[in-house]
Amino acid sequence: MAETKNTKAFYNTEIPSDWEVKHFEDVADIDRDSLNGSTPKDYKFDYISLSDVDSDDFKIETTRQVFASAPSRARRIVKKGDILMSTVRPNLQGFSLIRNEVKDLIASTGFAVITAKKCSNEYLFQYLFSSGIERQFYQLLVGSNYPAINSSDVKKLKIPLPTPPEQKAIAQVLSTADAAIHTTEKLIAQKELRKKWLMQQLLTGKKRLKGFGGEWKKLGAGEIFKSITKKGFADEELLSATQDRGMIPRTMLEGRVTMPTTGTEGFKLVEIGDFVISLRSFQGGLEYSYYRGLVSPAYTVLKPKKPINEEFYKQYFKSYEFIGRLATAVIGIRDGKQISYDDFCIVKIPYPSIEEQTAIAQVLQAAGKEISLLKTKAEKLRELKKGLMQVLLTGKKRMIF
């Protein structure tokens, strides 16, 4: 890569002086092929609407439908090489490049279909994720709850263009980064499925680790855990229950945090290693605490009455096995109602030997650590790509080709 010396202004940044600035309508067709409702009777096609899109990664799932004629909401024909752009909340980056051959794919009016004609479609697709385009979106969005951009305004968007060979080189670098991210995310999904399978097998005793046998004891949860109330620790920090991180200090929560309007003298003390029956316990919200602090009197704090491996029960309380048993034990419980300690006590849960609990916990911890490392890797790859976009799509760094 080489440094850029001569530049010119483009919105709030600088681009190389030899790059052209074009409107989208100059380099691409927007919604070129429209059905206008004139399709043969019983026309079959894959119809994609915003509801068919995975909001996390814009993965498209289509459903084969039969219509006497195309409905008014389905007017855009999509072909290989086209870019699908969500015109509803486009600042959330709902974009997809159709890389494979498709037949009879129709997009709803919630999308703009962009067909590159005088630039690289991969380069244009990558540019849609840049900070430069995001600024333009905010100038053109209409509406408040679900801000959208009109297809006619998509034509007004501007894109800085290097030469075709440089476009291709930039796009190749960024698409390679995308491929690395996709591969890692796919591996994460596989590992998460494997961990779920391990939980279903190991935490129920369906699959036994080498060296262990015999029947597991099934005890009422109240035989293994007791409710503890310790008050008078008003100076301790406040904890909150989360379903992915257990009990954590409220200072670790993102966004607005509701603080108590009265004193905390009546709050319950939670110590490291305790479990807490949270207000979302009907969804399996029995949370483990890695921290010492206070919780509302509405929560139930649990300590073990028998020797346990904490990690085993931390995993078990998140399993389908336990959540199913909980639901069965408390028939008629309403959505959002907290499980009481009495409700919890009657649930039958496994109590294998402490040695087997430990062995199972180690297997599941190893699986969880592997997933965590992969997630860290994926995040680093996303940050790497973000950095590459900032320098390549603005020309701060030039590709040598």
What is the model's pLDDT at position 400?
A: 76
Percent share of the chain, pLDDT over 90: 51
Q: Let me know if residue 211 belongs to a domain.
A: no
What is the model's pLDDT at position 253?
A: 85
Winning range, highest mean pLDDT, from 38-47, 62-71, 150-159 = 150-159
State mean pLDDT over 97-121.
84
Domain end (from 161, 182, 207): 161
Collapsing DSSP to helix, strand or coil, 237 comes out as coil
Contact criterion met (CB below 8 Å) for 135 and 1? no
Same domain, 226 and 332: yes
State mean pLDDT over 65-70.
52
Close Cβ partners of 158 (under 8 Å, ≥ 6 residues apart) = 10, 21, 22, 23, 24, 136
What angle, 0 to 180 degrees and rounded to 10, lies between the N-to-C axes of helices 320-329 and 164-202? 50
Q: How many domains in the chain? A: 2
State the Cα–Cα distance between residues 329 and 327, nearest whole angstrom: 6
Q: Is the pLDDT assigned to residue 21 strictly greater than 70? A: yes
Q: Is the pLDDT assigned to residue 331 strictly greater than 70? A: no
Domain end (from 132, 161, 190): 161
More reliable by pLDDT, 107 or 356 = 356
Token digits for 125?
Answer: 């697709």
Same domain, 155 and 221: no
State the Cα–Cα distance between residues 316 and 357, nearest whole angstrom: 10
State the Cα–Cα distance between residues 112 and 33, nearest whole angstrom: 11
Same domain, 145 and 245: no
Q: What is the CATH number of the domain that holds 233?
A: 3.90.220.20
In the chain, the largest separation of any two C-alpha atoms, in whole Å, equals 77
State the Cα–Cα distance between residues 310 and 287, nearest whole angstrom: 11
Winning range, highest mean pLDDT, from 4-8, 328-332, 333-337, 393-397 = 393-397
Find tokens 């602090």 and name the residue: 293
Same domain, 126 and 246: no
Q: Let me know if residue 320 belongs to a domain.
A: yes
Spatial CA neighbour of 385 closest among 79, 93, 76, 151: 93
Provide φ and ψ at 65, rounded to 5°: -130, 155
Same domain, 236 and 151: no
Q: Let me know if residue 184 belongs to a domain.
A: no
Give the angle 241-247-249 at the CA atoms, nearest 5°: 95
Close Cβ partners of 7 (under 8 Å, ≥ 6 residues apart) = 14, 15, 16, 17, 395
Same domain, 24 and 156: yes
**DSSP classification of residue 251:** G
Winning range, highest mean pLDDT, from 89-98, 274-283, 326-335, 359-368 = 359-368
Percent share of the chain, pLDDT over 70: 82
Q: Let me know if residue 194 belongs to a domain.
A: no
Collapsing DSSP to helix, strand or coil, 276 comes out as strand
**Whole-structure pTM value:** 0.81
**Interior/surface letters 152-178, b for 16+ CB within 10 angstroms, e for the rest:** ebbbebebbbbeeebbebbbebbbebb
What is the model's pLDDT at position 61?
A: 55
Spatial CA neighbour of 384 closest among 153, 113, 180, 119: 180
More reliable by pLDDT, 236 or 281 = 236
Domain end (from 351, 371, 390): 351
User: For the residues of 20-67, what is the DSSP string, one character each?
Assistant: EEEEHHHHEEES-SB-TT---TTEEEEEE-GGGB-TTT--B--EEEEE
State mean pLDDT over 213-230.
95
Q: Let me know if residue 146 belongs to a domain.
A: yes
Same domain, 156 and 281: no
State mean pLDDT over 43-64.
57
More reliable by pLDDT, 362 or 32 = 362
Give residue-wise pLDDT tens across range 170-220: 999 999 999 999 999 999 999 999 999 999 999 999 999 999 999 999 999
Q: Let me know if residue 188 belongs to a domain.
A: no
More reliable by pLDDT, 61 or 214 = 214
Give residue-wise pLDDT tens across range 293-327: 999 898 999 999 999 999 999 999 989 888 888 77
Same domain, 226 and 331: yes
Measure Cα distances from 199 to 194, 196, 204 in Å: 9, 5, 8
Q: Let me know if residue 315 belongs to a domain.
A: yes
Same domain, 154 and 265: no
Token digits for 292?
Answer: 């010492």
Same domain, 123 and 233: no
Q: Is the pLDDT assigned to residue 65 strictly greater than 60? A: no
Q: Is the pLDDT assigned to residue 222 strictly greater than 90? A: yes
Q: Let me know if residue 131 belongs to a domain.
A: yes
Same domain, 222 and 347: yes
Number of neighbours of residue 354 by Cβ within 10 angstroms = 13
Number of neighbours of residue 239 by Cβ within 10 angstroms = 27
Contact criterion met (CB below 8 Å) for 354 and 154? no
What is the model's pLDDT at position 52?
A: 54
pLDDT-based confidence at 274, cuts 50/70/90? very high
Domain housing 37: 20-161
Same domain, 224 and 301: yes
User: For the residues of 131-179, what is the DSSP string, one character each?
Assistant: HHHHHHHHHH-B-SSS-B--HHHHTT-EEEE--HHHHHHHHHHHHHHHH
Token digits for 95?
Answer: 């974009």
